[in-house]
Structure 1
Amino acid sequence: MPNELVPVEAEFAPPAQPPGARDRHISGETAEDLKRATAANTERAYARWWNMALAWCEREGRTPLPMTAETIAEFIGYLMRSTSQTTGKPYSPASLDQALSAVRTAHFRAGFEGQPNSRAARDLIKVHRQDRARDGWRPRRAKPVTLDVLRLLLAQCDTSSLSGRRDAAILVLGYGLMGRRSELASVTIDQLTVSDEWVTVFIPMSKTDTSAHGEDIDIPRAIAPDIDARAIVSSYLEGLAEHGVTTGRLLRSIDVWGNVGASMTGETVNEIVKRLAKDAKLTDAERMTAHGLRAGAPTDAAERGVPVPFIAEHGRWSKNSTQVLTYVRPADRRRNNPLLPRDNRT
């Protein structure tokens, strides 16, 4: 059974093509390069869903490539009635959306023109969302690390140790960049510029800059009167230099003796934020993740009345993205609440 998202030599291959079909053939090497155009996390998720689809089709005696509208609908229906082996809980509507995207991507990469008919599958996902809502389910989102929470997390960082200085740098850079954890893990020392009033980070590529033109993101030295981003980042850089580390990845593993090791992954960045939240004894520490750093700064900016386009540009969200609005709308609703006395509105 193939275990690739779109295997080159698949057991379920498309029908034989007529003469001249070679003009529409993509080699295995090119297919692998095309995969790299998708974010690594998304690629892994797509591969997992596609493998599930292949296994389900084999059990059900259905053809995965190409899938009929009925087969796609039945696969989504099967997922609706299933539970995740990882969490033991039913799959969320967002998970079903991702599974459907994985199936559509598999067809595209296998060379099928057009997309399989997924109208019925999408209707099923809508029904699933409605059923979950009636049962009291609501999407779980990472708690935004706003400035008040950021202060509590920074207080857990032992700045007498290099690992503590690294953790503090993770917090201020994650907040200041409105950064994805993968972006934080990828920052190199030579992409940092520290001046009197700014910490500037060059982001060579992001989800909204897939052509990799790169852009500088400026973080003000004082992201709050009592939080000096420049001092925090400079202290960590000086500590790395004392260990002979002046190039390569910024965020490094550091053992209990203070020895600097290899670069960190985005998952390790996430674990550090979760540990700091637990150490701070936050009541909702289980909801605190590295994504909260990305969510916290736009939440604070919206409270100050910063226009959405400026927030989206700084955080490298697409101009058409609705994700940034999930952080902005709560602040707008509070500020413009129709029940507030006029004098209390800003």
Structure 2
Amino acid sequence: MAGLSSAFAAQRLQLAAKAALAAGIAFFIAPLMPSAAANYPYYAPLGALVAMYHNVAGSMRQGLQALAGLALGIGLAVVLVNLAGPSPLTVAIFMGLGVLLGGLPWIGSGSDWIPTAALLVLLVGGSNPDDFSFGYLLQMGVGVGVGIAVNFLVFPPLHLSAAASSLDELRRVLGTQLTDMGAALKEEWPPKHEDWSSRSDELAEAARSVRHLVKEADASRRANPRRKLYPRDIDRDYRNLRGLERVTFHIQDITDVLSDVIWKGDLPYSVPLPESGPLANALTATGDLLRSFSDADGEAQEGQLETAKAAVEACMAATAVRQTDRGIVLASESVLLSLHRILRAVRETG
């Protein structure tokens, strides 16, 4: 069901509608092309589909790379026809050359079109490869131009809201992880609720997903005429992302430390009982701070930050008065260090 719903998401439906429109326009224009090119109208809608991408800059890049690959492939086929007749050996050699040329760093998505275009010229061009090559390249060029124009003029996609909401969602997820660990510290050990202990990979995946969405938002702004209507400080999004990635790393570290303390009794780590309450308060206050970004104003967030700092400092004061047995590593100190770094990252981004 998740895959089905994503396939029919609004963004995908919009892309499909624009692809259909571009293909129709390209096929309408195709018979108007000069000379033998008019005999190959079906390549124009193919070019429109090739150029259709979920952002304008990507549409231009993909379309031009495809045309570059086609030109190289057609050139290979013309060389083959002039040097030797098609045979299993010569076709194999030139297909190998096509794949090698596909490794050029600037060819990108056009790499697959090099051997494809060469084969089409050889197989479909028949006794008149020059006319076919001209018509094939021209019609594909027309289609690519139509696809880029449609994507540029018809609701060029901006993915800014997805990036903004994903940053808020990551803060909420990270904050929930901290508050869940704070609640676990106040339960009788081992705590009954232990799902938080297995979320480390989920947190990393969430951070990767947000990075992807922020990059998509950045790419969607390039060459997009709507960017001036919806201004957004994408550099700030990247700063917030980097800060949240650091926060994610430190929360993963806290998760691993507390999981070891609670469930792996053979390790020389401990959280002294007098410190468990203050440490739980520090974790909870920091988690509440992260979750406040989605619905609190700047003044409220500043208050949450001061509350979290006070809770961390109170826990530091509690650790300063205790004495430890030799050979015991106090896990609370590691957790406090991570909390300090989390608060610093929050202050630097905001």
**Fold conserved between structures, TM > 0.5:** no
Coarse TM-score class (shorter-chain normalised): under 0.3
More strand by share: 1
More helix by share: 2
TM (normalized to structure 1)? 0.25
* Pair member with larger Rg: 2
